[in-house]
Amino acid sequence: MWSPKSILPQTKFCCLGRIVTKLNLIAGEWLAGEIEIENRNPSDLSDLVGMFAQASSDQLDATLDQARIAQAEWAAYGLERKQAVLNAIGNEMMARAEELGTLLSREEGKPLAEGKGEVYRAGQFFTYYAAECLRQIGENADSVRPDIEVDVRREAVGVVAIISPWNFPTATASWKIAPALCYGNAVVWKPANITPASAVALTEIIERQDIPKGLFSLVMGSGRSIGQRLVESPKVNAISFTGSVPVGKGIAAAAIQNLTKVQMEMGSKNALAVMDDADLDLAVSLALGGAFGGTGQKCTASSRLVVHAGIHDAFVEKLVAGAQAMKVGHALEAGVQMGPVVSAQQLQENLDYVALGQSEGAELACGGARLEMPTEGFYMSPGVFLNTTNDMRVNREEMFAPLTSVIKVGSYDEALSVVNDTNFGLTSGIVTKSLARATHFRRNARTGVVTVNLPTAGTDYHVPFGGRGDSSYGPREQGKAAAEFYTTVKTAYISAGPV
Ligand code: NDP
């Protein structure tokens, strides 16, 4: 039974006393905004996930000021004290993966197993960077001048703005927040407005820790208003962004006005090359998982399947059968392999791409259609285009849809050339039993991540992640590589004087 005592500090009761509005964390206080928005379950539009406050410009400015003060205090915390904070966040997330993963799947639409897996992985980012707190080791050298020593070490960059997308609402934010805190920074987080519930849940965990007031801020609101103001602010020292290319370019342009450091991970058009010597069943399962996992809404999705003529027909037959057999449905329903897409807008864009592909001459072998389900949501069937060429727009633009295209090639050399013929360059993969081809591909694919007999999606947390071309800009994320972005180098010269 509800009682006033059960009101959490981060919630506010609306007039009817039933729906609570989740608040922003501003300068260490949970505050309502000027307006609020509702968030609905894309698997069932009758399910209201919640109401969410939208931060005002004044709140953003206030929290940036407090973040500056808190950052100095946090940077001066002992290493083990910082480590304990990060460990506590990570351990709680892993322990609550079922509950928080359910919330994530409910608001984003990915099947529950993926939602739970994402939250657990997000927790691992925090425990990984907890350990990194104690592994911040600099360099030292003798000066070229006599009796002078040089000490090179990294310091926090300051106040970091984190702008994250909806497709991995918890993991992407966590792989930015965890290193930012590890290396002594304050964080102002603007999550995607379409997945605010996961953002509030993570913020609640972080806010309860032993951190200075205002070290961590949550500023929910639209990208065009509060996001734009955040990236234009001279009070921000660094911006880490994941999202679309046009928005990324706009953020970079805004950041350069203040010479703010930027790191951006954007779209891609990842190719999986399937060679004639591939294990057929493995190739099909990698293609299905890579193309339709997360409903195809992944920057690492296998959206181009570059298939050797020698295996093409057998591969296509099994691929299409596999896509047709996939169970599409409510993200929280047992056995569902693919949930709805995230929004009405995304669904419409996807259907537009299906029409575009057909108008370009691609053959739609299956799927690509809106689906009616017992609950009203943004469902569509996984679609496979055949007989496509790499110059078609469906093979050049990121669709972020449960759609994939098969491009038939006559040789390994042609496959590599098609894989590399893109403006993007995040991930690529090859399926082959040939060590020679695998090695050549690994060394010549122009992507930041390359996989052999593995999906193009699915990466570890302790090694660098990022791409080339339009896919990424700035230092790599994750692993030790994250230090490059979240720190700045200081070179100290020390003359101890005569003994
Ligand atoms: P966006 O790039 O618009 O959004 C990503 C994040 O940036 C969100 O938090 C968004 O806020 C914010 N944002 C938007 N405009 C601004 C701005 N002017 N200044 C600061 N922040 C801003 O992606 P969408 O969600 O609209 O998705 C569109 C397409 O982008 C997808 O179809 C896909 O192709 C690509 N995408 C790629 C991702 C990836 O992992 N590489 C992730 C997400 C999208 P808000 O939510 O309020 O708009």
Per DSSP bridges, beta strands 186-190 and 159-163 are parallel
- Would you list the DSSP string of 224-275? IIIIHHHHH-TT-SEEEEES-HHHHHHHHHHHHHTT-EEEEE----EEEEE-
CA–CA dist 31, 53 (Å, integer): 8
Q: What angle do CA 201, 202, 205 make, to 5 degrees?
A: 95
pLDDT of 1 above 60: no
**Nearest Cα to Cα of residue 235 among 29, 60, 30:** 60
- Write out 316-376 in H/E/C secondary structure: HHHHHHHHHHCCECCCCCCCCCECCCCCHHHHHHHHHHHHHHHHCCCEEEECCCECCCCCC
Q: Select from 36, 57, 118, 163 the residue to mutate for testing ligand 1; criterion: most ligand atoms less than 8 Å from CB.
A: 163
**Nearest Cα to Cα of residue 48 among 34, 59, 37, 60:** 37
Query: Which residue's CA is the nearest one to ligand 1's atom 44?
Result: 243
Compute the distance from residue 41 Cα to the ligand 1 centre, in Å.
19
Mean pLDDT of the 269-283 span: 98
Compute the distance from residue 165 Cα to the ligand 1 centre, in Å.
6
Atom of ligand 1 minimally distant from the CA of 254: 19
Say what the pLDDT of residue 19 is: 77
pTM, two decimals, is 0.95
Mean pLDDT of the 458-479 span: 96
Find tokens 């017992």 and name the residue.
374
CA–CA dist 167, 294 (Å, integer): 8
Mean pLDDT of the 390-394 span: 98
What the block records as the tokens of 213 is 């007031």
Find tokens 């234009």 and name the residue.
232
What is the b/e burial string over 69-98, where b = at least 16 CB atoms within 10 angstroms of the residue's CB?
Answer: ebbeebbebeeeebbbbbbbbbebbbebbe
Of the residues 265, 366, 398, 477, which is catalytic? 265
Of the residues 133, 299, 398, 477, which is catalytic? 299
pLDDT band at residue 20 using 50, 70 and 90 as cut-offs: confident
pLDDT of 477 above 80: yes
- Residues in Cβ contact with 103 at an 8 Å cutoff, skipping those fewer than 6 apart: 49, 115, 197, 198, 201
pLDDT in tens, 51-101: 999 999 999 999 999 999 999 999 999 999 999 999 999 999 999 999 999
Atom of ligand 1 minimally distant from the CA of 247: 2
| CATH superfamily placement of domain 271-452 | Aldehyde Dehydrogenase; Chain A, domain 2 (3.40.309.10)
pLDDT band at residue 18 using 50, 70 and 90 as cut-offs: low
Average pLDDT, the chain: 95
Q: Select from 37, 231, 247 the residue to mutate for testing ligand 1; criterion: most ligand atoms less than 8 Å from CB.
A: 247
pLDDT of 16 above 50: no
Domain ranges of the chain: 21-266+472-490, 271-452
What the block records as the tokens of 191 is 């999550």
Reply yes or no on whether 299 is catalytic. Answer: yes
Are 261 and 418 in contact by the 8 Å Cβ rule? The answer is: no
Are 123 and 343 in contact by the 8 Å Cβ rule? The answer is: no
Residues with CB under 6 A from ligand 1: 163-167, 190, 192-194, 222-224, 227-228, 231, 242-244, 247, 250-251, 265-267, 299, 398, 400
What is the b/e burial string over 21-53, where b = at least 16 CB atoms within 10 angstroms of the residue's CB?
Answer: bbbbbbbbbbbbbeebbebbbbbbeebebbbbb
CA–CA dist 54, 26 (Å, integer): 11
Reply yes or no on whether 265 is catalytic. Answer: yes
pLDDT band at residue 15 using 50, 70 and 90 as cut-offs: very low
Query: Which residue's CA is the nearest one to ligand 1's atom 38?
Result: 243
pLDDT band at residue 13 using 50, 70 and 90 as cut-offs: very low
pLDDT in tens, 329-347: 999 999 999 999 999 999 9
Which of the listed CATH numbers 3.40.50.1470, 3.40.50.720, 3.40.605.10, 3.40.190.10 matches domain 21-266+472-490?
Answer: 3.40.605.10
List phi, psi (to 5°) of 352.
-65, -40
Residues listed for the chain: 499
CA–CA dist 15, 87 (Å, integer): 39
pLDDT of 3 above 80: no
